[in-house]
Amino acid sequence: LLIAEGYDKVIVTQPRRLPCQLISNRVNETMTVDTHVKQEQIAGWIVSGAQKNPGAKILYMTDGFLRERLLYDDSMVPVYRSVKKSIVIFLDEVHERSINIDLCLAFLARLLTNYPQLKHKLKLIISSATLDKSVPNLFRNIPQVSLGEFSMPQLGTLHTVTKYSRPNTNILDIVQELYKKCKMNDQILCFVNSALEAVENCKLLSEITRNAINARPLIQSQTTTVQQENIAQASVLFSTTIAETSLTFPSLKYVIDTGYINLPIYNPELQRTILTTMRAAHSTIKQRLGRVGRTQPGEYYALYNYDPEELSYPVPHICQSDLTNIEYSLRRSPLKCGLHVIQKFLPDKPVPQYIDSAINVLRDLKILEKAPSQDFTNVGKLLSRVPEFGTIQMSVSVLAALREFDCGHDLICLSSILGVLNSTAIFSLMPPNLKSSDGDFMTLLNIMNKILSVKESISTSQFNLNRICEVANLTQIRHIIGPALRRYSNLEKSFNISDYRIEAHKKSGQWESIAKALLAGYSDNVFISMRELQEKNLLYARYNDKGDLAVLDIKSILTRPVKQDPVPLVVARDVFYSTAVRSRAIISFVGEIKIDWMTHSTKRELTLTDEEEIYLNSNNRYGKVRQLYSHNIQMLLSNKTLKLTGRSDVVLNAELQLRKEMITELTFKLENRYSPNTAKYKNLANNLEKVSKMPNIFHPMIWRWESEKQVKITVDNNTSAKTCDIKVVGRPSEIAKVKQEFDSFLSWLSNCAVLRDPDAGVSPRILQPTAREKYTAVEERIARITDIKSTRVDLFNATKGSQATRESRMEAVLWIAVCKFDCKVEGGFVRDWVVGKHHQRSTTITKPSDWITYGTDKIPSIVKEVVPSDLDCHLPKKTYFDIEKFKDELHKLGISCDVHRESWRYVLLIDKDEKSGPFTMDLIEPHIALTHDRIDLDVNNLYLEKGYTREIGMRVDIQELPYSISLESIVKNIDEKKFRVLRPIDSVLEDRINKMTNIRKWTQVGKPFSVIPSPHSHVISVVVPLPSSSDLYQDLATKMQVIGSGIQIISIEQIRNPQLEGLYEFMKTNIAGQCPQSNPKERYLYHGTAPDAVQGITDFGFDDRYFSSDGLWGHGAYFAEDPRKSHDYAPVNPQDQTRVMFYAKVLLGIQSVQDESDSSLNAAPIGYHSVQGTGGKYEEYIVYRYGQALPYLKVTYKT
């Protein structure tokens, strides 16, 4: 219509290349069909690197191309030439507010302001689905420029669209719900916030429905052909932005909108762009809504819980982007000014920090002179004479290649293909023969050289890219090679008429030269392996003073297997930050470099401990390094800080040398510091001897320190000392932490009666049939934690599904720990949730985040009223547990995690801000777990293990005599909220019992008794001190006071002697069978003995070979219920003035009560099992058979 009205030319912009071509073709087809006359095509298109019919009356172009024409082409706008009527510039899709669109608006506003005559020669049409008032206000404020506004009447969509609000509902649940309502060919379009989420949701939906639903992603990295195929074939589509959904959906019935979008947000202080998940603006929501209702009535489902009108329009990209390349383009253009000048013509102005940051980057690259000058340096002037290469860093690199390193052609080729790449997926699609060991850059150069060598060897008419790609096995990346060749051709033409036409054809083919050229532009993107800095394997650190951490893109050519050393030093094109990636960047398009290739300046600052500073200053260590390097760089060591400034290669060599100087060695033994001849000394000696025979228990600890801090730990068996010799090599600060961990182990070991075998306990088993039938739901909960066949769908439902709960999220965390990291889970969660399905919440604390409390050690815990409260796991004993990878796995499920490290465990605070409520997790080191030989309550003795999907194990074997506690009885107790106490009650256990009974309403049943594991195979017996605060200790100590007021209890120790206990239990069963009501009349009685008999009784019991023959009732073992009687038979040990009395279990059975002595007895009278002597001051009890009495407690005291 405009052409028919006589306008000279109509230029129409589109944000992307494809619409320019498609719309142009459509216009030409329509005009030809309508007129039935063969005539010159009325429309043409022009984009970067390609064009068709550029002289047409109607010309479609990308907004980026229009921006360049407005900057550099004076003929674009008829400032001084006459026109018949006017030129029309039609800016479409302005609502996207891209940088190109805003700059086009600014350049046009500037022209209309500076050249008033243009108002008769230029008409500007701005078209937008929605539009912020700042755009029309920009032109309304230009003098003598008339502004007309036309708003489309709110007619709505062609068909009715019904809106539904479903806040926080799981998107996959709604998809499945709507799919059931779909008629043939109906489609569902889902808007999510990232390409990764789009792909993952497609996979999850396929798994959930077993491929019944055909779901496809629509993402930017796809070719147009792939996008069109997906729309044609899929029933469900997942996309991120309107850009990928601007094509027609012929059968769209439903739109599901999460209401969020990922946007690149630049941080000028950190000088980094972070892909950030944000709320979508109201205008974006309206556009998403507008996708449906075009071809049929539809429905729109809003999953967000905020009011979209709070943000009417998206923030313009120019207000939240890195402006370095824009600033440089403006300054090198004919305008000769930057954003400080141009910003007054922008609809929305960037904040000054963004512009200042861009200028600082240009100064750092030595393109602009130092402040206050705004002029180009000599490098900047030279740079302005070469074409632009997309980024200022690549432009600097190409200039260096042309001027210094004789590899101009190589860099031009590289920039051509890198300019069309924003993903490293290409590396998994190319043949191995083109991959270079030097990294991604040389691999890409190999591709370009391969194609160009063919192109240059044949005529243009013979060149068939499809055929060449097919022969070279490059068909899968044909869509990348095509645009790369177009860019190369344009650059080739530009250089052929430039001052660098000769240099632009120089080929090196040598990675060193190419890398040095890249370093000229990308020196800030040099990353060093943390392994080189004595830190964690597989992580990289930006080699400057920013301290950024990163990992290699998994698809990079330089990615190596975990067991291989990582590439030491790399330069990267891209450093990707995202809120979807936990705490570190991803570096992609990388190449390996050598230290001496780096010549840029840098600063490094290392924090030391006091010990490390002293160590460096001693023996002239620091002085020697300073003497080697200080003439090239500045070095300062002061106040625990080491500062290095200067040329980066020298700085890095100096730093590596200083780090090497800080490496020292510490050797020590695991020592027994208890007093000899004490139970603690003996127990620790036995445990140390066992440790010395299995140093492999420290392997996970050794692997962890080597992987995370490059600390070398060696643990050797010292057979003569029956302990371990330990050598630690590393920095003093790290050695101190390692020593602390071994000290912690020794502390645990000292309090351990019997060091457990790594495979101790009862292997998981299925419940007996009668119990199993009753507790079928228990097996379902076990499987959710231990079944390795669980899928991402199961994890998704547990953490994000509509039925997800705090407990299901806890199960998901445990599944990761157990099935992915080989941990064992035990303790409260197995008891409360897996078996009991008990749960309760605090009645006084309503806000879940307030459940968290912190101890004096700043370790978090959950208030006692919340059940289940925490997760307890033992770390794997055969593999290295990487806490960072574990956190990554949690992050994938949207689970937050704070880590607190102690010398023997990790304590994790999980979901602290989640509405369902936080919980904690203990991850106990495997060598520490072996020292946990006691259990407090029977219901705490269960564990779960990977692959055992229906079975439950017992951590300590309490099935056999004398305990006889079965798995089924424990499960029954849990179900009925009952428990038995299995160790002496001290203050700690008393607090736990109080929590169970008073807060969680469990019931304590049975008398407490003490479970001690069997001693090591080479040890007959073990004695374990009773806590002085325990009820049994206090009760016995009170009874002993009858001996005299001066009595002093030194210790009370429990004896564990499996052989004697077995014999005793046999006798107990035997005697019980001969007694009325099967009552063997077991009594706890005293027995005093001489010092030289103590160990014999402890190891071999009351042996009838050594019974007293001088007793009143003959040859037997004598016991008393009054300790005063036994005291008379407990002489003083002359060495330490102590006495020993045993508190024994005695089977009296059927007693022969005798008030007259009978020294001739060698056995109890026929029909009896014991004699009760009543003729003296104190009653005595005599047994005559071996095994009829068991030494239970050993009391050491003084009088």
> What φ, ψ does residue 1066 adopt, rounded to 5°?
-60, -45
The residue with greater pLDDT, 274 or 714, is: 714
pLDDT single digits (tens) 625-671? 999 998 889 999 999 999 999 999 999 999 999 999 999 999 999 99
Average pLDDT on 1144-1162 reads 96
Place of tokens 């993402």: 219
Residue 411 has pLDDT above 60, yes or no: yes
Residue 246 has pLDDT above 70, yes or no: no
pLDDT classification of 152: cutoffs 50, 70, 90: low
pLDDT single digits (tens) 184-231? 899 999 999 888 889 989 998 998 888 999 999 988 777 777 888 888
pLDDT single digits (tens) 1103-1120? 999 998 889 999 999 999
State the Cα–Cα distance between residues 412 and 445, nearest whole angstrom: 10
pLDDT classification of 41: cutoffs 50, 70, 90: confident
Which pLDDT value is given to residue 155? 53
Tokens of 274: 């972070």
Which pLDDT value is given to residue 672? 95
Average pLDDT on 239-266 reads 82
Helix-helix angle 352-364:324-332, to 10 degrees: 70
DSSP per-residue codes, 816-866: IIIIIT--EEESHHIIIIIIT---B--SS--SGGGGEEE-TT--EEE-TTS
Which pLDDT value is given to residue 154? 57
Q: What is the CA radius of gyration of the chain?
A: 41
User: Which residues, at least 6 apart from 988, have a Cβ–Cβ distance to it below 8 Å?
Assistant: none
Residue 716's CB is within 10 A of a number of other CB atoms, namely 12
Q: Which residue type occupies 303?
A: L
Which pLDDT value is given to residue 33? 44
Average pLDDT on 567-596 reads 92
Average pLDDT on 1133-1141 reads 95
Half-sphere exposure of 404 (CA within 13 A, CB side): 16
| H-state helical runs in 314-439 | 324-332, 339-342, 352-364, 378-383, 392-403, 408-418
Place of tokens 């692959």: 947
| H-state helical runs in 365-510 | 378-383, 392-403, 408-418, 440-457, 465-471, 478-496
State the Cα–Cα distance between residues 700 and 1120, nearest whole angstrom: 52
Residue 1164 has pLDDT above 60, yes or no: yes
Contacts 24+ apart (CB under 8 A), 1076-1081: 1080/1147, 1080/1148, 1080/1149, 1081/1147, 1081/1148, 1081/1149, 1081/1150, 1081/1151
pLDDT classification of 38: cutoffs 50, 70, 90: low
Where is average pLDDT lowest: 77-91, 436-450, 591-605? 77-91
Question: What is the percent of the chain where pLDDT is above 70?
Answer: 98
Helix (H/G/I), strand (E/B), else coil: 512: helix
pLDDT classification of 1045: cutoffs 50, 70, 90: confident
What letter would DSSP give residue 560?
-
Please check whether residue 410 is in contact with residue 514, taking contact to mean a CB–CB distance below 8 angstroms: yes
State the Cα–Cα distance between residues 267 and 357, nearest whole angstrom: 9
150, exposed or middle or buried, with CB in 10 Å at 0-12, 13-18, 19+? exposed
User: Which residues, at least 6 apart from 159, have a Cβ–Cβ distance to it below 8 Å?
Assistant: 293, 294, 295, 296, 297, 298
Please check whether residue 26 is in contact with residue 11, taking contact to mean a CB–CB distance below 8 angstroms: no
Q: Tell me the pTM.
A: 0.86
State the Cα–Cα distance between residues 841 and 958, nearest whole angstrom: 32
Is beta strand 1117-1120 parallel, antiparallel or unpaired with respect to 569-578?
unpaired
Percent helix, strand, coil in the chain (nearest 5)? 40, 20, 40
1030, exposed or middle or buried, with CB in 10 Å at 0-12, 13-18, 19+? buried
Q: Which residue type occupies 220?
A: Q
**Where are any strands of DSSP class E within 619-690?**
633-638, 641-647, 664-669
Average pLDDT on 259-276 reads 90
User: Which residues, at least 6 apart from 67, have a Cβ–Cβ distance to it below 8 Å?
Assistant: 100, 103, 104, 107
Q: Which helix (DSSP H) or strand (DSSP E) does residue 552 occupy? A: strand 549-552
Where is average pLDDT lowest: 155-164, 249-258, 456-465, 959-968? 155-164
Helix (H/G/I), strand (E/B), else coil: 972: helix
Which pLDDT value is given to residue 207? 87
State the Cα–Cα distance between residues 979 and 992, nearest whole angstrom: 12
pLDDT single digits (tens) 741-791? 999 999 999 999 999 999 989 999 999 999 999 999 999 999 999 999 998
Tokens of 770: 């009668």
Residue 1098 has pLDDT above 50, yes or no: yes
pLDDT classification of 509: cutoffs 50, 70, 90: very high
Sign of the CA dihedral running 683, 685, 689, 691: positive
Helix (H/G/I), strand (E/B), else coil: 1134: coil
pLDDT classification of 875: cutoffs 50, 70, 90: very high
pLDDT classification of 725: cutoffs 50, 70, 90: very high
Residue 962 has pLDDT above 90, yes or no: no
Please check whether residue 161 is in contact with residue 300, taking contact to mean a CB–CB distance below 8 angstroms: yes
Return left, alpha or beta for 397; rule: phi > 0 is left, psi -120 to 50 is alpha, else beta.
Answer: alpha
Q: Which helix (DSSP H) or strand (DSSP E) does residue 165 occupy? A: strand 161-165
Mean pLDDT of the chain: 92
| H-state helical runs in 1018-1139 | 1031-1040, 1058-1072, 1094-1100, 1123-1127
Q: Tell me how far CA of residue 954 lies from CA of 762, 948, 966, 1125, in angstroms.
A: 5, 13, 9, 43
Residue 801 has pLDDT above 70, yes or no: yes
Which pLDDT value is given to residue 579? 76
User: Which residues, at least 6 apart from 281, have a Cβ–Cβ distance to it below 8 Å?
Assistant: 308, 311, 312, 313, 314, 315
Residue 691 has pLDDT above 60, yes or no: yes
Q: Tell me how far CA of residue 423 lies from CA of 264, 272, 426, 427, 480, in angstroms.
A: 15, 18, 7, 9, 11
Look at residues 285, 261, 273 and name the one whose alpha carbon lies nearest to residue 198: 261
Which pLDDT value is given to residue 1103? 95
Residue 37 has pLDDT above 70, yes or no: no
Is beta strand 122-126 parallel, antiparallel or unpaired with respect to 50-52?
unpaired
1077, exposed or middle or buried, with CB in 10 Å at 0-12, 13-18, 19+? exposed
Helices (H) then strands (E): counts for the chain: 37, 46
Residue 547's CB is within 10 A of a number of other CB atoms, namely 9
pLDDT classification of 873: cutoffs 50, 70, 90: very high
What letter would DSSP give residue 1131?
P
Tokens of 517: 């050229």
Residue 606's CB is within 10 A of a number of other CB atoms, namely 16
Average pLDDT on 484-507 reads 93
Please check whether residue 633 is in contact with residue 645, taking contact to mean a CB–CB distance below 8 angstroms: yes
Which pLDDT value is given to residue 480? 92
Rounded (10°) CA dihedral 34, 36, 38, 39: -30
Residue 558 has pLDDT above 50, yes or no: yes
Which pLDDT value is given to residue 368? 95
Instruction: Find the length of the chain.
Output: 1199
State the Cα–Cα distance between residues 5 and 170, nearest whole angstrom: 54
pLDDT single digits (tens) 128-145? 877 889 999 999 999 888
State the Cα–Cα distance between residues 1096 and 676, nearest whole angstrom: 18
pLDDT classification of 699: cutoffs 50, 70, 90: very high
pLDDT single digits (tens) 294-320? 889 999 999 998 999 888 888 999 999
Please check whether residue 200 is in contact with residue 221, taking contact to mean a CB–CB distance below 8 angstroms: no
pLDDT single digits (tens) 43-53? 999 987 778 89
Which pLDDT value is given to residue 961? 80
| H-state helical runs in 577-641 | 610-617, 621-629
